[in-house]
Chains A and B, each alone.
Chain A
Amino acid sequence: MIYKVISKTEFRKFIDAIVKHNNAYGPRKVDTGSGGKPIYQFRPVKSADEIDFDYSVTYSSAKHFFLPFRDELSRFNFNDGNWEQEVRYEAPPTILIGLRPCDISAINMLDEVMLHGSYPSPYYLARRKNTFIIGMDHLPLPDCFCKSMNRHTVNHGFNLFCSDIGDKYYLSINSSKAFTFLKEFMIEEPSYEDNCLLIERRKTIKQSFETNIEVTGLPVFLDIEFDSPIWQKWGDKCLNCGSCAMVCPTCYCYSVEERFDVDLKGSSRQNHLYSCNLVDFAQVSGGHNFRPRNGDRLKYRYYHHYRGFAANDNQQICVGCNRCGRACLADINPKDVINDLRLERESCMICVSPSPDRT
């Protein structure tokens, strides 16, 4: 990693230069919510002026740049009773600007799933390799809990990371490509004061979290609470609408569909991002549904995020962005569900009879 500082004016020039002739996306205000809060999304940008650098958080994550909601896996061409398969892994060079540390951490986790398993995804790899990521830090929102998940900082998975130290950005340069671009602009060695400002900035961010979730030992906890009535309680609220998984930066479950061309001379095999909360997620051929109940589906979503991955890969797959919580109309969010589980267990410890005597 190389560290430099750049004035905010110069930084805008740099952004202008790289977005002008590239396929670039950055945070843009798309609406104002009824409570007066701005709503942001990652949208195409052609100049620095179009980017809201001081945005809070995007409604949807940056996941779909790597795992499109609908993606063609292959095309089939039929002729004379025979067929040919055509597969393309091409991805256009893309620049993503303004990703938060939690967003970048999420992509790093997707790397684990998509690239480091038994069957690496060439589709994902093409997009990942051809995407230039510029991260930016921010002060947490009241409901952000990425610090609890230890995802409020990130040290890899990006090309360039910018920490806001007032009139300048403190740059962490993590790729030769980023360094080569930046060399054309006025960047400076960080001064003693810049270093102090960076430390101060990090401290402020760390101390600004209002939402904390106790996740230590959570996988074991979840094991114990498999039959807890809590799941049905939250399941009764769940609308099965899948919004949580769509906005989530790490939910990657998908279904595969085959679609014929109307002339029946070819077909397309597509994957479609799905959600384990949707009613037929666990329905199999013949019609049997392994998880017909809302509560069970909700439980397994939490198990995937907080237990399965922790047990198999020593990390929980949730990054603590609370996008699911914000998108959920029924007000289901990780903080409340997990706290509810812990509360259930703690109150139960108080009310049960004391341990049997050893005698």
Chain B
Amino acid sequence: MNHLGFKIGKMKIGSFDFTCCEGCQLQLANKESTLPDFLGLLDIRNFREISSERHDDYDIALVEGSITRSDEIERLKAIRAQASVLVAFGSCACFGGVNSLKNRIPAEEIIKGVYGDKAIETMPSTKISDIVAVDFMIPGCPVSKDEVERVVIGIVTRSLDNLPKYPVCVDCKQRLNTCLFDLGEVCLGPITKAGCDAVCPSGRTACLGCRGPADDINFPSFLQVIKEKGLSQDELREKLTFYNGFTDYLNHES
């Protein structure tokens, strides 16, 4: 391909899933209007949801899911060794995701509850950057296909742009939504990274922070807002821990 005088090649890509619902990978096959053009940018070497062909000569690895088993660690390390760019794809890979809810409960209890007496190996859910170096994160539950397109185009045209640094409130106000705080709800929009076009608050559902914290958030002030408005601390905690994206802030909470 020739793009503005630059020769550009297709991205040799592999897409891999660990502990997850594979919903983020499914997003890659979504948005039919641009799907043929999107696939035209990619040379898919390994992606079980799209092709049965498996090759190990990919340059870019999209990794979905969190890590909950020792064999996943080995597989992830092998992918890291092959890929020149490794992308944490979706909230599970980026933060541990909704799977991390199990970390609150003792392992034996969980195994018994889900598998009965069957012996199962499971560890606390961790984000992939705890195991290998991550070059880029595309958070979201699921990821936004628009954003994935922009990132892929950015890599292909060597003009990689950053994800928004500001919080969801910007997008939400631009959609003229009623602020959920005005309706007495706890919403994580003021501290969560934008880029989702405020899809949840636009559907009158509070933001649960699936995209993780925006850059340089004012967490103490946010806690103060919840307190002064007399909103439920339990609800706040529930939301902050839902996708495991705010652990750094919660651990430093005084």
Contact = CB atoms under 8 A, between A and B. Distances in A.
A294 B216 CA distance: 9
Contacts of B37: 261-264
A253 interface: no
A329 B217 CA distance: 14
B169 interface: yes
B178 A238 contact: no
Interface residues of A, number: 44
A294 B218 CA distance: 9
Contacts of B200: none
A33 interface: yes
A330 B228 CA distance: 9
A34 interface: yes
B221 A331 contact: no
Contacts, number: 122
A243 B173 CA distance: 6
A43 B189 CA distance: 23
Contact of A81 (B4, B34, B166, B222): B4
Interface in B165-211: 165-167, 169-170, 173-174, 176, 178-179, 181-184, 189-191
Interface stretch (A95-103, A156-164, A222-230, A271-279): A271-279
Interface stretch (B22-30, B69-77, B135-143, B149-157): B149-157
A108 to B, nearest CB: 23
Contacts of A258: 159
Contacts of A243: 169-170, 173, 179, 190
B150 A246 contact: no
Contacts of B81: none
Interface residues of B, number: 47
Given A273-B174, A327-B173, 17 more contacts: A30-B178, A31-B178, A238-B221, A241-B167, A242-B167, A243-B173, A246-B169, A259-B150, A260-B157, A261-B37, A262-B38, A263-B37, A263-B40, A264-B8, A279-B166, A330-B221, A330-B224
Interface of B: 1-5, 8, 34, 37-38, 40-41, 149-150, 153, 156-157, 159, 161, 165-167, 169-170, 173-174, 176, 178-179, 181-184, 189-191, 214-218, 220-222, 224-225, 228-229
30 contacts: A31-B183, A34-B182, A39-B178, A59-B179, A81-B4, A238-B218, A239-B190, A239-B225, A240-B166, A240-B167, A241-B166, A241-B169, A241-B170, A241-B189, A243-B169, A243-B179, A243-B190, A246-B174, A247-B173, A259-B150, A262-B41, A263-B34, A264-B1, A278-B165, A292-B216, A327-B179, A329-B179, A329-B225, A330-B221, A331-B228
